[in-house]
Amino acid sequence: MKKVFVFLPDGVGLRNFVFGDFYEIGKQKNIDIIYWNNTDFPIHENYIRVKQGKSNWLADLFKRSRSKIELKQSYKKFKDEAYLSYSFTQSFKTIKTAIKSSLVSMFSMLFNSELGLKKVRSYIEKFERNSEYYFNVKKQLQNEAPNFVFSTNQRPLKAIAPILAAKDLGIPTATFIFSWDNLPKGMLVLETDYYYVWSTYMKKELLKYYPFILEEQIKITGTPQFEPHFNKKLIIDKNVFFKKNNLDLNKKYICFSGDDITTSPNDQLYLEDVVKAIKSLNSKGFNLGLIYRKCPVDFSNRHMSIYNEYKDIMVLVDPLWENLGNGWNRVMPTENDTSLLVNTIKNTEMVINVGSSMVFDYVCHNKPCAFLNYNTDKSVDKNWNIEKIYKYIHFKSMPSKDAVLWINSKNKIEEVILKGLEMKNLSSTKEWFKTIAGEEPTKASNRIWESIAKVVN
């Protein structure tokens, strides 16, 4: 039996690769699966903890520089300012962070070329190969002797040393491109033998932004992210769901899915506009409610003042994630949240948000999505503008504007909600979903294991 390490550098891979049927599908292919766990989240299946150690601090600075250089080079090649908008603002709050940020800025200027980028990539590998962390994970791999190492996402610093150690020991490696918007953002950190992507569209992106990757290294598998939506075992009785979440069986519910505070600093203002629109519709004879599903990595309570004022309309159905620390990569999904998300969608008529991938979750259930597309009367951040959101590169994949409903002013919210309640034709949304997630969204886990099995056997 061949042994495969499924490497979890952080919690973002839990939903795709620990929960659901991924483990069982691999076992059916006669593979000995061991989760190589770098998270604090307990895993019930067969796992070992990653042997910890210090990464090289210079590797982190060059990793951050690499992303900035890639974005600058993409802007230079493709003449689109959206690439520059992806670059994170540097922190200068303390002397230590100021020094690091200054070095990142310096490196990203010194090495701002294709040749410079190549040097930066080699420096990252050089520094990590000399870290305590690298020697610890290399020894662990030598003791365990897996036949394959599969990283569940491509972007954390803590994934570099384990993948380098595996490659240095001659163990085949692969990584999964975690999100539909990651490649234009310069978020590829790992260089592996194989790359698992969602679709033909994502394969083209990978070749476009990373020409050193060969076409035969890329495997189109789909993503396990949407498989739960087609799993009837996760659906619970409507009466049970409504009672558990204090919902009114006589009402039809709209879902407002929250964004993180960086993506949408005015989210609470949009929420208030939507709640007021629903209240207005109810005064005209409708009987609607609103479910607010908070973004799991939004640590604020900015929605609570609206909730306290409109409890007769608004119900909180919070995601079931565990907060293991104050950071987006320290918030872990739980298995129960998968069922909660599926049933929230099943029991709501449509979703409203600012440019979220929830459009794809909803279309799996043949339900529409409305994107908020106006600037609020007030603003928490005067430099923020809604136009910036829809100029992001990943929205260019939209086959037509009809793929979503557009709320272009707060005065149009009522009209769009009514349209969403009656909407039956989602052909454009389904076409967009197929472009992003691939032809057969229910077979992603199986295709990943088929690809791994082909290599190890």
Per-residue confidence band for 330, with pLDDT thresholds at 50, 70 and 90: low
Most confident region among 12-16, 92-96, 432-436 by mean pLDDT: 432-436
Same structural domain, 120 and 69: yes
Residue-wise DSSP of 349-368: S-EEESS-THHHHHHTTT--
Q: Judge whether 166 lies within some domain.
A: yes
Q: Which residue has the tokens 């994970």?
A: 137
Instruction: Determine the average pLDDT of the residues in 325-349.
Output: 85
Most confident region among 82-96, 374-388, 408-422 by mean pLDDT: 408-422
Distance CA 326, CA 324 (A): 7
Per-residue confidence (pLDDT) for residue 289, from 0 to 100: 98
Domain ranges, residue 446: 2-55+131-222+441-456
Distance CA 50, CA 107 (A): 30
Per-residue confidence (pLDDT) for residue 293, from 0 to 100: 97
List pLDDT tens digits, range 119-172. 999 999 999 999 999 999 999 999 999 999 999 999 999 999 999 999 999 999
Distance CA 175, CA 197 (A): 9
Per-residue confidence (pLDDT) for residue 327, from 0 to 100: 61
Domain final residue, candidates 81, 105, 125 = 125
Better-predicted residue by pLDDT, 324 or 220: 220
Q: Which CATH number fits the domain that encloses residue 215?
A: 3.40.50.2000
Per-residue confidence (pLDDT) for residue 38, from 0 to 100: 94
Q: Return the percentage of the chain with pLDDT > 90, whole number.
A: 88
Does residue 62 register a pLDDT over 90?
A: yes
Per-residue confidence (pLDDT) for residue 326, from 0 to 100: 57
Calculate the alpha carbon distances from 16 to 50, 224, 228, 338, 357 in Å.
Answer: 19, 5, 9, 10, 15
Same structural domain, 10 and 158: yes
Per-residue confidence (pLDDT) for residue 200, from 0 to 100: 98
Distance CA 4, CA 21 (A): 16
Same structural domain, 276 and 316: yes
Same structural domain, 280 and 191: no
Per-residue confidence band for 43, with pLDDT thresholds at 50, 70 and 90: confident
Same structural domain, 113 and 139: no
Domain final residue, candidates 109, 125, 141 = 125
Per-residue confidence (pLDDT) for residue 401, from 0 to 100: 94
Q: Judge whether 345 lies within some domain.
A: yes
Does residue 236 register a pLDDT over 80?
A: yes
Q: Judge whether 343 lies within some domain.
A: yes
Instruction: Determine the average pLDDT of the residues in 77-101.
Output: 92
Same structural domain, 205 and 119: no
Does residue 297 register a pLDDT over 90?
A: no
Q: Judge whether 435 lies within some domain.
A: no
Does residue 30 register a pLDDT over 60?
A: yes
Distance CA 402, CA 406 (A): 9
Query: What 3-state DSSP class applies to 86?
Result: coil
Does residue 44 register a pLDDT over 90?
A: no
3-state helix, strand and coil shares in percent for the chain, rounded to the nearest 5: 50, 15, 35
List pLDDT tens digits, range 351-382. 999 999 999 999 999 999 999 999 999 998 88
Same structural domain, 263 and 348: yes
* Residues constituting the chain: 457
Does residue 212 register a pLDDT over 60?
A: yes
Same structural domain, 61 and 143: no
Residue-wise DSSP of 272-336: HHHHHHHHHHHHTT--EEEEEE--TT----TTHHHHHH-TTTEEE----EEE-SSSGGGEEE-HH
For residues 400-418, b (16+ Cβ closer than 10 Å) or e, as one string?
Answer: eeebbbebeebebbbebbe
Q: Judge whether 436 lies within some domain.
A: no
Nearest in space to 189 (alpha carbons), one of 202, 200, 178, 199: 178
Distance CA 457, CA 453 (A): 6
Does residue 323 register a pLDDT over 80?
A: no
Same structural domain, 422 and 324: yes
Per-residue confidence (pLDDT) for residue 383, from 0 to 100: 85
Does residue 197 register a pLDDT over 70?
A: yes
Per-residue confidence (pLDDT) for residue 265, from 0 to 100: 94
Same structural domain, 27 and 151: yes
Per-residue confidence band for 93, with pLDDT thresholds at 50, 70 and 90: confident
Report long-range pairs for 273-278 (Cβ below 8 Å, ≥24 apart): 273/376, 273/410, 273/413, 274/352, 274/413, 275/306, 275/310, 275/313, 275/314, 277/410, 277/413, 277/414, 277/417, 278/254, 278/313, 278/417
Q: Could you give the residue ranges of the DSSP H alpha helices within 147-303?
A: 160-168, 200-209, 238-244, 267-283
Per-residue confidence (pLDDT) for residue 382, from 0 to 100: 84
Who's near 328: CB < 8 A, 6+ residues apart?
260, 297
Same structural domain, 46 and 97: no
Q: Could you give the residue ranges of the DSSP H alpha helices within 95-199?
A: 95-110, 114-129, 132-144, 160-168
Per-residue confidence (pLDDT) for residue 333, from 0 to 100: 82
| Count of structural domains, the chain | 3
Q: Judge whether 227 lies within some domain.
A: no
Per-residue confidence (pLDDT) for residue 372, from 0 to 100: 98
Q: How many CB atoms lie within 10 A of CB 439?
A: 11
Same structural domain, 207 and 269: no
Per-residue confidence (pLDDT) for residue 325, from 0 to 100: 63
